[in-house]
Structure 1
């Protein structure tokens, strides 16, 4: 069954009683099921609340420019389209543009509403990295210290000799396969360990599947290069960072994100994390929040809210080692403290997740853009490039 764009008829996924079409447990994040599933995580896997607290909601004033629907942009093939056309082409669930802290553009598709929690995928890494920065500012974590200072058990793994900063920047030498379509790859095993998926049907009965994320981490024994030699994107680094944060603070990740971040930035809704069988909140991709609350997160960073995150941490995060040919979608990019940096000129930060999740934070345009999607593919570089170009066109239109 193929996926569907917002302009196409919607299939009867989870409609009716009983539902006509139920996402299979082993493929709920694949097309077309992900178009429903990314907005309904709490109906699929166990989750834990990230409480917003009792504090006031940060108001987002409105300064809408609705004619942005017709803004000329390029499609993924380089041809002409409009912003509305590109949003349809790229399987958008929601988009928010904040200019100087005000809502300039906001659209919801595919059944999403302002209260819907949407799966962040790897944007969760940036949320985790920011909370780590808060703990660093408080003196609970030293980025220059060995990982084993906080997690001595990792002395028997590929992380032996790595620093916390190596983990933050994904420059350890640990062997880890991020092959998303291989169910036996390390990231495929994370799906099972995190409780996202059952053991794949027809799998080798002799294969030892990890029971939880910590068990998987302890089983990663090999290094492919010296620590600090090169960047390599590996999701498990964020989970190591989260366990380290939990050990240093004495609190679980969901509580840390709630008390140190979500309650302070004025979130409108409580968020949630997916959890594994040991209650571990999946730091590398299990966070879920609303479109506007993702925007509030980006706006907090843009404003340099030193009472939440140390400004020197934000500045350090924007200071990476750039290209050339860093990434297909970000050829001049870099990676620092669990964030992508778009280029060395704007030093704009990106939170990025597979299937088209994005928070774009740009100090030069005073703009935050959140785009939540459910691509048919884990990665589509043409969609990502076209989205980046469209963001530039929006920035020019709002200048």
Structure 2
């Protein structure tokens, strides 16, 4: 799955065209047959894998991801504004992206993870899942950014430092030692250029240190 957003012939842009014509993301996902290596032998992030997780969740529960997210996360947290979901031709919400929240509500999600899954006085996500999901468990290349269960772990991360990272430079950065959460929405077409991500992380760390005093 070629995820070069700036290449019109990449798989991610073929997916976009299929959906623009009313296609279903499940069908597009199931049509992908090629592999670049033996399964389990190499790690590579691709968004379509996250959609597969969504397919599994829907199949296991018999419920939509939006209903589950509303019941388990959105309603207990009490966000300021209702989320807006991008959906395919069948009305099925994306899981690989397309969850639109205000920046303040993205920050609330980060705050909940900062607090080990607690928010509004209740345990919304189990603390052991928070710990497992934010640990660098994926076999990424040495010296490269780490990855857990849908969370990124920067190079040289301190204990409790992790982030969500989206296309075009969107982030939820969490630094538990400093007690800091930084959420950014962005539209940076140069987000994949060399050094841009490292620069963003360096800025987050400087802000975090200034606020947290470390």
What TM-score, normalized by structure 1, do the two folds share? 0.49
Instruction: Find out whether 1:319 has 2:135 as its counterpart.
Output: yes
Q: Is the 8 A contact 1:320 1:335 kept in 2?
A: yes
1:283 alignment partner in structure 2: 95
Q: Is the 8 A contact 1:193 1:276 kept in 2?
A: no
Instruction: Find out whether 1:182 has 2:182 as its counterpart.
Output: no
1:294 alignment partner in structure 2: 106
1:218 alignment partner in structure 2: 30
Instruction: Find out whether 1:229 has 2:41 as its counterpart.
Output: yes
Q: Is the 8 A contact 1:358 1:370 kept in 2?
A: yes
Q: Is the 8 A contact 1:180 1:378 kept in 2?
A: no
Q: Deviations over 1:346-375 (max 9, x none)?
A: 341211111110000111111100111111
Shift of 1:381: 4.1
Shift of 1:377: 3.0
Bigger fraction of residues in helix? 2
1:192 alignment partner in structure 2: 17
- Which structure ranks higher in relative contact order (CA pairs < 8 Å, sequence separation ≥ 6)? 1
Q: Is the 8 A contact 1:341 1:349 kept in 2?
A: yes
RMSD over aligned CA atoms reads: 1.9
Shift of 1:220: 1.1
Shift of 1:224: 2.2
Q: Give the whole-Å Cα distance in 2 for the aligned partners of 1:185 and 1:215.
A: 17
2:188 maps to which of 369, 375, 379 = 375
Q: Give the whole-Å Cα distance in 2 for the aligned partners of 1:257 and 1:380.
A: 33
Taking structure 1 as reference, are residues 397 and 233 closer, same or farther at Cα in structure 2, changes over 3 Å only?
Answer: same
Taking structure 1 as reference, are residues 212 and 378 closer, same or farther at Cα in structure 2, changes over 3 Å only?
Answer: farther
Question: Aligned residue pairs: how many?
Answer: 205
Taking structure 1 as reference, are residues 375 and 275 closer, same or farther at Cα in structure 2, changes over 3 Å only?
Answer: same
Q: Give the whole-Å Cα distance in 2 for the aligned partners of 1:212 and 1:272.
A: 18
Query: Pairwise mapping of residues 36-185 of structure 1 onto structure 2 (< 5 A)?
Result: 176-185=1-10
Query: Pairwise mapping of residues 301-340 of structure 1 onto structure 2 (< 5 A)?
Result: 301-305=113-117, 307-321=123-137, 323-326=141-144, 333-340=145-152
Q: Give the whole-Å Cα distance in 2 for the aligned partners of 1:358 and 1:345.
A: 18
2:158 alignment partner in structure 1: 345
Q: Secondary structure at the match of 2:23?
A: coil
1:265 maps to which of 77, 97, 100 = 77
Q: Is the 8 A contact 2:51 2:95 kept in 1?
A: yes
Taking structure 1 as reference, are residues 362 and 185 closer, same or farther at Cα in structure 2, changes over 3 Å only?
Answer: same
Q: Give the whole-Å Cα distance in 2 for the aligned partners of 1:381 and 1:275.
A: 32
Gaps of 5+ in 1: 1-175, 199-209, 327-332
| Bigger CA radius of gyration | 1
Taking structure 1 as reference, are residues 179 and 283 closer, same or farther at Cα in structure 2, changes over 3 Å only?
Answer: same
